[in-house]
Chain A
């Protein structure tokens, strides 16, 4: 089920509960205007929410309830127990619908009549004169049952034949009268189209239902037509088709008897008249036989006694025996038909309710359905998160304790026990952490679900044809991460639509399908969530990008010359860069890609860009699954320890001094055939000390990847890799971008965690 719907169901259940509670409270204190206002608000917002979905029955009932509550609030209607009863009935109906929606994901169409009846009851309680919206609707609701229906036998021949064959195939048959409200054109409706599209339509006609003024004074925007239709479709289908306007249609079943009986009576009467004709003609025998054949056709295969009567008539020859038989038959069949009709009457009476089950919303106090989803304030989850963070830190103190027991006090057994205990606590703490993270997890669909609409609107505005493909919407990530993604993704999608994808004509000219393709795919790669936005548009024209960057003074001509294709592509991330010739409301205001990159980087993520001219552009966002715990490597330099986020670390290695090349003041080394620049951490942090080599004369090098490039950092030594809860530095210190934050270690020491991107 779609999460929005799920949320709606949850909230609605809450609201319904509050409404019931308020109504109960009002019973005790009917004069409380505060409670009235509260009740109105509850019903109002419930109605508003239901309007987001396709639940016309629910909205209709709630709308009527809202009007009534509005009247009560304004003092136009006095509160009464009957009013409360009706409102409670209405809320029970809504509860029932919610159950149904939760069970099947959609509202059943079978409740249109119940909804209309309930709405009418609610409206009846509101003062007619002062409820301008309610009154006409109620009047129409009452009027629909009186709409004139044509008699079956008045329908054109073709329609009746179609009806006959539908009946032969066992299809139910209905006559409908549909009178749209006079203002319906202003709501963008086309009742004629609605009528023509009726499921199972066999015949339809339209007629003016009020004598209009002379043509010269006709108001063509006021609907004055009533549509009559004959349809062969199940009642439920027809109800569902008119579920938005049940008060404007009358639907009556056509049973085979209706028209046929009239025809039969007419035929029988005609045969009777023939038999009354004088006998003395030469063709009497032929006439008698023809009459008997007609009677046989009319009355079914072998009407009892007809053959005998015919034989007697032919023997005389005279019409009398046959005439007598027919008179006797008439009397017999009249009695039988009366009995028949009594049997059929209930079936016809079902016309309005369509033979549905009893309206089953007679549940009030007995429904104890409790939601299985718990709505929790985010602050509580955050508190849990902080607590588990502290627990992880506290747990990390145990190995230190074990070491002290062993080394300072010589208690090896105790140290081993502490370590064993630590392993257990560690496992539980990790599971707990995982469980709490799960609570905060949200599917990417939360962000994705707005794209179909966004892409449709923008592409329409730009006159482009775009097919949007969403993949991996179920991929989950921490709430904060998903929220961080929202704005950058919109920027990127807008850019793709505006700059990336070409207009259909250009695409056709370039030999591509007219309709462009925009793929947004989310997926998980180890502990990171990766979002790819790929278009098959024109790609990034690096030459144009360089020209623009030069013109905007972002780079100098020498740098432009020396740039690789990839570097030139990446220029679009430069602050202030814009390729759009004109500023539109979509993109091209010079904020965009650099903001995207910094936003993603702030959340610990990275952006990769690949583009081929003429073939398209792919942006790859990679973010941690969760922001709560950071995996850092602890390194030591000049007697101090620092943390470096593991996602930047490629590898660690030890290099003999001979492997380091000095070029002027810069150092490099060769790693698997690639030259890597080396920087001592001491130098970057302005610590006046040389990197210390270990006893074998080797220097410790931490290889990092930054913006797709590798770089080696010289440190004195490596410690372990730990999970820490990274806390941003407080106050003024927070402006030191060199540090990502600080963390507390198990032994109580503070670890400063570096931000490698700012360090270099």
Chain B
């Protein structure tokens, strides 16, 4: 299970697939203060990416891959 959702922290790891988009969206919709841990994330499906870009949750840990991080940077809280 690449996505671990706890009370206010979502831990995405590995290759996050399109199937997980809906669950993540539902989780984010009810948690304005949600935090995201991407340390182990290798890739996000575009559907997941656009949720993050829209919701802009706080990122507590960036992906290890700097290339992926640079794509994701605009998602973080201003």
Q: Which residue of A lies closest to B22 (CB)?
A: A220
In the assembled complex, how far is the CB of residue A32 from the closest CB belonging to chain B, in whole angstroms? Answer: 48
A185, CB-defined interface residue at 8 Å? yes
- Residues of A within 8 Å of B44, CB to CB, are 192
B47 touching A208, Cβ below 8 Å = no
**CB neighbors of A among B25-67 (8 A):** 25, 28-29, 43-51, 53-55, 67
In the assembled complex, how far is the CB of residue B69 from the closest CB belonging to chain A, in whole angstroms? Answer: 11
A216 touching B29, Cβ below 8 Å = yes
B25 touching A218, Cβ below 8 Å = yes
A192 touching B45, Cβ below 8 Å = yes
Inter-chain CA distance A208–B67, complex, in Å, is 20
A196, CB-defined interface residue at 8 Å? yes
Q: Which residue of B lies closest to A221 (CB)?
A: B47
Inter-chain CA distance A193–B17, complex, in Å, is 11
A204 touching B70, Cβ below 8 Å = yes
B74, CB-defined interface residue at 8 Å? yes
- Residues of A within 8 Å of B67, CB to CB, are 196, 201
Are A224 and B50 also in contact (CB < 8 A) when A190-B18, A215-B55, A218-B25 are? Answer: yes
In the assembled complex, how far is the CB of residue A228 from the closest CB belonging to chain B, in whole angstroms? Answer: 11
- Residues of A within 8 Å of B74, CB to CB, are 205-207
Inter-chain CA distance A204–B46, complex, in Å, is 13
B46 touching A185, Cβ below 8 Å = yes
- Residues of A within 8 Å of B54, CB to CB, are 208, 212, 215, 218
B53 touching A185, Cβ below 8 Å = no
Inter-chain CA distance A494–B70, complex, in Å, is 49
B18 touching A193, Cβ below 8 Å = no
Are A190 and B45 also in contact (CB < 8 A) when A215-B54, A216-B29 are? Answer: yes
Inter-chain CA distance A156–B69, complex, in Å, is 13
In the assembled complex, how far is the CB of residue A303 from the closest CB belonging to chain B, in whole angstroms? Answer: 37
A642, CB-defined interface residue at 8 Å? no
A225 touching B29, Cβ below 8 Å = no
Q: Could you give 10 example pairs across A and B, Cβ below 8 Å?
A: A190-B18, A191-B46, A192-B45, A192-B46, A203-B70, A206-B50, A215-B54, A220-B21, A221-B18, A224-B50
Inter-chain CA distance A191–B50, complex, in Å, is 11
- Residues of A within 8 Å of B43, CB to CB, are 192-193, 196
In the assembled complex, how far is the CB of residue B64 from the closest CB belonging to chain A, in whole angstroms? Answer: 15
A18, CB-defined interface residue at 8 Å? no
B18 touching A215, Cβ below 8 Å = no
- Residues of B within 8 Å of A201, CB to CB, are 67
In the assembled complex, how far is the CB of residue A187 from the closest CB belonging to chain B, in whole angstroms? Answer: 11
In the assembled complex, how far is the CB of residue B56 from the closest CB belonging to chain A, in whole angstroms? Answer: 9
Inter-chain CA distance A193–B44, complex, in Å, is 8
Inter-chain CA distance A191–B67, complex, in Å, is 16
- Residues of B within 8 Å of A180, CB to CB, are 46
- Residues of B within 8 Å of A224, CB to CB, are 50
Inter-chain CA distance A190–B48, complex, in Å, is 10
Inter-chain CA distance A193–B68, complex, in Å, is 10
- Residues of A at the B interface (CB closer than 8 Å) are 156, 158, 180, 184-185, 189-193, 196, 201, 203-208, 212, 215-216, 218, 220-221, 223-225
Q: A193-B43, A205-B74 are in contact. List 17 more A-B contacts (CB 8 A).
A: A185-B46, A190-B46, A196-B67, A203-B70, A204-B70, A206-B53, A207-B74, A208-B50, A212-B54, A218-B54, A220-B25, A220-B50, A220-B51, A221-B18, A223-B47, A224-B50, A225-B53
- Residues of B within 8 Å of A204, CB to CB, are 70-71
A205 touching B71, Cβ below 8 Å = yes
- Residues of B within 8 Å of A206, CB to CB, are 49-50, 53, 71, 74
B70 touching A193, Cβ below 8 Å = no
- Residues of B within 8 Å of A216, CB to CB, are 29
- Residues of B within 8 Å of A203, CB to CB, are 70
B53 touching A156, Cβ below 8 Å = no
In the assembled complex, how far is the CB of residue B70 from the closest CB belonging to chain A, in whole angstroms? Answer: 7
Are A215 and B46 also in contact (CB < 8 A) when A190-B18, A225-B53 are? Answer: no
A215 touching B29, Cβ below 8 Å = yes
- Residues of B within 8 Å of A189, CB to CB, are 46
Q: Which residue of A lies closest to B67 (CB)?
A: A196
Inter-chain CA distance A196–B48, complex, in Å, is 15
Kindly list the 5 A-B residue pairs having the minimum CB-CB distance in the complex, ordered from nearest. Answer: A192-B46, A220-B21, A191-B46, A220-B25, A225-B50
In the assembled complex, how far is the CB of residue B18 from the closest CB belonging to chain A, in whole angstroms? Answer: 6
Q: Which residue of B lies closest to A189 (CB)?
A: B46
In the assembled complex, how far is the CB of residue B68 from the closest CB belonging to chain A, in whole angstroms? Answer: 8
Inter-chain CA distance A189–B68, complex, in Å, is 19
Inter-chain CA distance A184–B49, complex, in Å, is 14
A196 touching B28, Cβ below 8 Å = no
In the assembled complex, how far is the CB of residue B50 from the closest CB belonging to chain A, in whole angstroms? Answer: 5
Inter-chain CA distance A49–B30, complex, in Å, is 50
B45 touching A196, Cβ below 8 Å = no
Inter-chain CA distance A189–B47, complex, in Å, is 10
B45 touching A156, Cβ below 8 Å = no
In the assembled complex, how far is the CB of residue B36 from the closest CB belonging to chain A, in whole angstroms? Answer: 14
- Residues of A within 8 Å of B46, CB to CB, are 180, 184-185, 189-193, 223, 225
- Residues of A within 8 Å of B22, CB to CB, are 220-221
In the assembled complex, how far is the CB of residue A197 from the closest CB belonging to chain B, in whole angstroms? Answer: 10
In the assembled complex, how far is the CB of residue A221 from the closest CB belonging to chain B, in whole angstroms? Answer: 6
In the assembled complex, how far is the CB of residue A126 from the closest CB belonging to chain B, in whole angstroms? Answer: 31
Q: Which residue of A lies closest to B65 (CB)?
A: A196
B50 touching A193, Cβ below 8 Å = no
- Residues of A within 8 Å of B45, CB to CB, are 190, 192-193
Inter-chain CA distance A208–B54, complex, in Å, is 7
In the assembled complex, how far is the CB of residue B11 from the closest CB belonging to chain A, in whole angstroms? Answer: 19
Q: Which residue of B lies closest to A223 (CB)?
A: B46
In the assembled complex, how far is the CB of residue A748 from the closest CB belonging to chain B, in whole angstroms? Answer: 77
- Residues of B within 8 Å of A212, CB to CB, are 54
